[in-house]
Amino acid sequence: MKGVVFTLLTFMLFLFLFELVASLNHSGASTILPQEINKRITNVFSNIAENIPKTVQVEITKNQNNLTISDSLPPTINIQSSLQAFQNFINFSIPQDLNVSFLNPAMQTVPLTSLNPPFQIQPLNVNYTYPSNNWGKTQQLIYCPNASTCNNFSIHLNYTINQTFQCNPQNASSCTGVNSYGSNEFSWSPQPDNCAGGPPCINFTLSITDNQGHTYACSSNAAGAVPCPFNSTSLSGNAATLQIGILQSSVCKFKFTIGGNIANGPLLQTRMLDNNNNTCGEVFSNTTFTFNTTTFYVSLPTYLRVLDLNSNTSKTDSIFQ
């Protein structure tokens, strides 16, 4: 199945670039104006940069002041193979009078397979990444530079897992130890404090759906459902942590942590691990940031250079959207 998914992904990337290739093959014209050269370079740069997130199984969507990152934890494809396939296609499709190269922060030429996270939301300096900044994606991690920055945006989290909850949170009678803050199977420790101590805080919504279509949602007080009356938590003290039990497993847990003292840890951490910190299920995530500005972009810590060999005109910039 993973091979099929990888093949489909690669095919989609090829389709995205066919139009690019066609637009480039006019290079045999005897005279190309400087503005045409710049437009050509910019088009090549944009087409490559926009498709790189897809090679690592990430979708990035910006809509006014909202930024959504869709992800798969862990990936269902081989990320290194996907990056290599994209590199090979670029090498094959780019005309001979153009040179495309990838550069590390020291501006040294590197292969695309050396690309690593984080996704950097600039100029806010918020990082979306994974443990050790690699594509293993065993956990989702979001880092915020300081509490004042985090206090100025909200985050909306929607997760779907390929496992089954121990009970149906939409039918509290199927769960045990139900109280006004959750149940034994949907347990917060510590609980979010709903910004009881005042700002700085992080505002959030949370929805987790299992493979049976059962959903646990915050903030929600739906009749008959396991309660989750939380919509924010302080950016000081201990982080709030949710643990969800998985059916027919005493060791596999869905764990979600948010807030707390972000100077010493991430703003948010999501993982589905057993007692030995091994991945025990897949999490498909949609993370939406709502900022108080529309002036932001997402970049990776690798640069892309597109060079027109005939005119020695180039564009070099971080890989961004």
Per residue in 247-300, pLDDT (tens digit) is 988 889 999 999 999 988 999 999 999 988 899 999 999 999 999 999 999 999
pLDDT class of 69 with cuts at 50, 70, 90:
very high
How many domains would you assign to the chain?
Answer: 2
pLDDT class of 219 with cuts at 50, 70, 90:
confident
Q: Residue 235, class by beta-carbon neighbours within 10 Å (0-12 exposed, 13-18 middle, 19+ buried)?
A: buried
Asked if the structure places residue 120 within a domain, the reply is: no
Integer Cα distance of 170 and 251 in angstroms: 23
Same-domain status, 129 and 81: no
Same-domain status, 145 and 177: yes
Asked if the structure places residue 174 within a domain, the reply is: yes
pLDDT class of 40 with cuts at 50, 70, 90:
very high
Tens of pLDDT, residues 183-194: 999 999 999 999
Q: What is the pLDDT of residue 19?
A: 46
For residue 74, give every residue at least 6 positions away whose Cβ sits within 8 Å of its Cβ, in sequence order, or none: 136, 137, 138, 279, 282
Res. 111: pLDDT tops 50: yes
For residue 221, give every residue at least 6 positions away whose Cβ sits within 8 Å of its Cβ, in sequence order, or none: 227, 228, 229
Q: What is the pLDDT of residue 21?
A: 52
3-state secondary structure of 315: strand
Same-domain status, 64 and 157: no
Same-domain status, 161 and 286: yes
C-beta of residue 298 within 8 angstroms of C-beta of residue 287? no
Asked if the structure places residue 296 within a domain, the reply is: no
In 206-223, which positions are buried (b, 16+ CB within 10 angstroms) versus exposed (e)? bbbbbeeebbbbbebeee
Per DSSP, the residues of 92-120 read: HHS-TTEEEEEE-TT--EE-GGG---PEE
pLDDT class of 231 with cuts at 50, 70, 90:
very high
pTM (2 d.p.) = 0.90
Range of the domain at 91: 2-69+76-115+301-320
Same-domain status, 99 and 182: no
Same-domain status, 164 and 284: yes
